[in-house]
Structure 1
């Protein structure tokens, strides 16, 4: 029989024994030159002891990872609810927690240490939650995988979030990671390290492999979340998920942070419309060529060839007059409202608080972004750059001899505009670093609209050819705190962030004055110029209560078409917008064809189709329509003629965007193939 050694020398299988030195060591010596330690005597361990030790280790890992997942899940959910107490649906919440648990367990298996996994998981969870709080505060849109694009432009992050806050946040992350490392190392001193060769080590290794394999499998399955038949999506649907992709804040609140992130994973931009084929598209093109021929009688096919076209997206320019639950001490935009009466309307934005590039895309391409899948919030980043050329109004105008220039007084990398503008056919892109004038309005503000308009004037003066100029302004982009010393007073019957809203309104006033000055300059230029200006969205600065109370009004932005040949409107002041006789709201993708009608130009079949949809159907918003009479109705309740118009618009949009472009030549212009 083998003699039992001292307990200090016994290799432990207990989950509670901490012995980084399995051989042990003697605490005292009897001589000045200590004798060598005796060889440790092997202790027989039964198979049952090994199994119990491995099972204990695995159960502890399962419990610890469950606790970690609960903490991270709580942090992420709390980051969504800083200003909302709307509960998450129970089924999706439990499923999201389960998904997160499997991922955390995979991290434990990958690093092989509960201590290291705790530091990694909690630090990453804290960072995601904190960033989500900041993003929700600025844009009211939660984090998604698409946000990695902002990492390419750290200057944008620095301007959106004060540098002091970024430094504080970075220091806080380092401090938290350090404290976590200290705490888990102290708490784990009695926890043994499971070294190679130790009894049960292979069992623990097998568990780690299973955990990693399970997590990787789940991640791979979830990557196709938006594909038909996806098992993870099916599980969410069976759990009672209520997807609200048109309102991402509610989408995340209802289905949980994890569910919201999964629902925004990449997907095909648009499902293939029923019946799509070359033969179908040729019939569509033939039909709309006939309609265009009839509508173009009496128009001027050459007017645009001798006319400058200026398209202006006015950043964060919602229409203050549209709000029913806010009263301003003065009208922030009297000049713009006069221009809207003379030749404009309210445009219906696709988003509240965000969506600038989506609106820019819709106006330039004539494509209705609500007809894409709900996950498509930024076509520029999600599919436009997948093509060497993409059909748009710039390419069409260049066929008539226009020189194309894009101006954006900010970073050229935002929304991949550098690549997109090349794709669209712009000859030059002027960003903030290449502008001649860079004056700023207010303290810490962005380059002013006055400076941006002067850049447009400079380009028009220096060109001998007719021009198409695309300007995306930046002046009124948030944050607004402390920007102006004299914010416009505002009151509301709902809880409101009056100080911030007043700061925004003062910036709108500055834009209004800059617009008036810009148009006065254009009247003296001697060349015919049309200006198409619209707001992209209201800024995300209003309280949840007011956003709910305003409803669709929080999506109304100013839109006007101004013609230097008729500065007071085609038929005189307050004549209204040609092509919109009822004065109804305007869809973003209808803007260009409305401008053509305003100046009496002939329209290609594609714009004729968009005109008929605007006039006879209204603003198509996914599954609903805002009619010319101002009523919101489901598409399924439209009459047959209206539904046929929407079907044709979907077919043409699919063909021009991700389809084969069978009829691009026939319906618009020969480019992009």
Structure 2
């Protein structure tokens, strides 16, 4: 073919579809001008491409958040299994994973960035896992929403965990957050953020909105986890959940960290007992008023009006003699064991390694905490302060003219004690900052029991009226590392032997302080009764030993000492008048046992508690420890025993969260 030299042979450059070149005159037709149909056909592929981009981004976020959830779940579950390899049930585990995944997607939707969500979620998961490991190590209980209250008292955290370790932990968290930020900023191809007006923006925003809405809806539904008919709880139950709230470590292990946390969300302390109404409570009150009148024959109605009452909760005081798998080179508590033989017994604590406020509540109110719902582990924090006043032994004694002082040689804010003590009727609360003596035992230990006892003596000497003084000690609280230079030698699990020996040395110090305290009281010239008990063993024994000990790991010392009869007045000059079998006693039976020991009359309420202790035994939820030491279930009780337990439930509900129909007749003759 011949090429004309004046004609350019380069193929014409057609414009991109959908554009109109400026050099084509209006009205020109032909192959150089785009037709109207070109605009329509080219827009469809563009919209499809944008839609594919949005779908791809969403699928990527779903997959990445799934992996992120797996990482966080692994950290949380590992924190539970630091000392146990028990598997989680499959159904609850999958549900917990799904719940956590939805929450992670909610964080992504809220922040609008997978990278930012990764930093936040992984850092938070790491913090929760680390705190849970420490909490399990110290208190043998996993994290729950109630632990938020500890943030109000950072001094407690500092004393429970060395500052050095707290600083290391904070630095580690910051380092992890910084490293994550750096890694995610460089991981994979950086995708441009969708901004308003950019193609696909509405699709991405719709996904974010759905993710946040799902997460918020789930949170609202889960908040009522313990209410009847809750859909989240029903889903767990249908998928094989095995709730063990009376053993929280196992509860979390079986149902997963998420399931465990949900099962401990707020709930009503008790269900309404069948038949509860004003007429029923009037009948119960009349019945126990008659029983009390019979039991009180021969007692001195005015005895307590001129008698001081001292109540001592001894922190981390388990009965060393009860242990079968630990042998001490010397008896750390010879004085206390002698007092137990003269007028005491072993008390069965509700917890191991924790539960101080629960025991204090049970002794002062006479209420059995195991009759509340299993989620109620700390009545002080969970419902006591919801009421303007709460029935307890302090208020009852004040009606007889007693002054009331509470002493706790530590920060006042633990377990909301200032509010609780005001609610209970204490006239004064002395904490570590207001004590006159603050000597400490050991290296870096807490204020000593000896200082606490001397504060009690000072209160008794400075007040002419009879006093009720409660001391909650602190000396033997964890941690023990390096506290004493001469720990008591002990044969037990080798890895924990040093901690047990350190604790035992502190117990020895308490024993010596008790002997000194009682000698001082003997010279006071006024009658004083002392009710002392241990709250729990410290959480320093291995899981294997705890399992091997069984109920022994819950047995704590309990004794009643009367300055008028220091050698004891029980059967054969020993033991407790109200516990002739010599068996274990319940925490809520302590006050009535003390009254019987000194020969004081029992109000109808304490008469009911006495009959339950003597004829049923120690009630521990669904289990019963009989006066003869046999462990049975509630179903094994006789009809008469079940009737006693029914009355106990009715009265406890009435006095705690009920209408208090029977309070005046059974305990508070002048009202609250």
8 Å contact 1:395–1:671 — kept in the other structure?
Answer: no
Report what 1:253 is aligned to. Answer: 253
Report what 1:128 is aligned to. Answer: 128
8 Å contact 1:342–1:573 — kept in the other structure?
Answer: no
Report what 1:566 is aligned to. Answer: 565
Aligned equivalents of 1:244, 1:237: Cα separation in 2: 13
Aligned equivalents of 2:15, 2:393: Cα separation in 1: 90
Flag the 1:571–1:77 CA change in 2: closer, same or farther, 3 A: closer
Report what 2:406 is aligned to. Answer: 406
Mapping for residues 230-241 of structure 1, pairs under 5 Å: 230-241=230-241
Aligned equivalents of 2:256, 2:161: Cα separation in 1: 26
Mapping for residues 277-426 of structure 1, pairs under 5 Å: 277-426=277-426
Mapping for residues 93-242 of structure 1, pairs under 5 Å: 93-187=93-187, 189-242=189-242
Flag the 1:448–1:608 CA change in 2: closer, same or farther, 3 A: same
Aligned equivalents of 2:322, 2:671: Cα separation in 1: 39
Q: Deviations for 1:340-390, whole angstroms, at most 9, x for unmatched residues?
A: 000000000010000000000000000000000000000000000000100
Aligned equivalents of 1:298, 1:206: Cα separation in 2: 80
Mapping for residues 1-20 of structure 1, pairs under 5 Å: 2-3=15-16
The DSSP-based 3-state class of the residue aligned with 1:497 is helix
Structure 1 residue 670: deviation in Å? 4.1
Structure 1 residue 189: deviation in Å? 4.8
1:65 aligns with 2:65: yes
Structure 1 residue 630: deviation in Å? 0.2
The DSSP-based 3-state class of the residue aligned with 2:327 is strand
Give TM-score scaled by structure 2 length: 0.93
Report what 2:3 is aligned to. Answer: none
RMSD of aligned residue pairs (Cα, Å): 1.5
Aligned equivalents of 2:382, 2:15: Cα separation in 1: 70
The DSSP-based 3-state class of the residue aligned with 2:514 is helix
8 Å contact 2:571–2:580 — kept in the other structure?
Answer: no
Report what 1:450 is aligned to. Answer: 450
Q: Deviations for 1:445-472, whole angstroms, at most 9, x for unmatched residues?
A: 0000000000000000000000000100
8 Å contact 2:267–2:375 — kept in the other structure?
Answer: yes
Aligned equivalents of 2:116, 2:640: Cα separation in 1: 64
Aligned equivalents of 1:483, 1:662: Cα separation in 2: 51
Q: Deviations for 1:109-150, whole angstroms, at most 9, x for unmatched residues?
A: 111100110111011001101111111111111100000000
The DSSP-based 3-state class of the residue aligned with 1:469 is strand
Structure 1 residue 397: deviation in Å? 0.1
Q: Deviations for 1:495-551, whole angstroms, at most 9, x for unmatched residues?
A: 651000110011000000000000000000000000000000000010000000011
Report what 2:610 is aligned to. Answer: 611
8 Å contact 1:340–1:560 — kept in the other structure?
Answer: yes
Flag the 1:2–1:290 CA change in 2: closer, same or farther, 3 A: farther
8 Å contact 1:348–1:587 — kept in the other structure?
Answer: yes
The DSSP-based 3-state class of the residue aligned with 1:554 is helix
Report what 1:636 is aligned to. Answer: 635
Flag the 1:572–1:620 CA change in 2: closer, same or farther, 3 A: closer
The DSSP-based 3-state class of the residue aligned with 1:561 is strand
Report what 1:529 is aligned to. Answer: 528
Aligned equivalents of 1:502, 1:225: Cα separation in 2: 43
The DSSP-based 3-state class of the residue aligned with 1:316 is coil
Aligned equivalents of 2:518, 2:247: Cα separation in 1: 36
How many pairs are equivalent? Answer: 637
The DSSP-based 3-state class of the residue aligned with 1:530 is strand
Aligned equivalents of 1:348, 1:449: Cα separation in 2: 22
Structure 1 residue 194: deviation in Å? 1.2
Report what 1:554 is aligned to. Answer: 553
The DSSP-based 3-state class of the residue aligned with 2:346 is strand
Report what 1:596 is aligned to. Answer: 595
Aligned equivalents of 2:85, 2:500: Cα separation in 1: 23
Q: Deviations for 1:471-503, whole angstroms, at most 9, x for unmatched residues?
A: 0000000000110011111113x5651000110
8 Å contact 2:407–2:471 — kept in the other structure?
Answer: yes
Structure 1 residue 46: deviation in Å? 2.4
8 Å contact 2:96–2:259 — kept in the other structure?
Answer: yes
Give TM-score scaled by structure 1 length: 0.93
Aligned equivalents of 1:534, 1:353: Cα separation in 2: 15
The DSSP-based 3-state class of the residue aligned with 2:556 is strand
8 Å contact 1:310–1:530 — kept in the other structure?
Answer: yes
Aligned equivalents of 1:672, 1:504: Cα separation in 2: 44
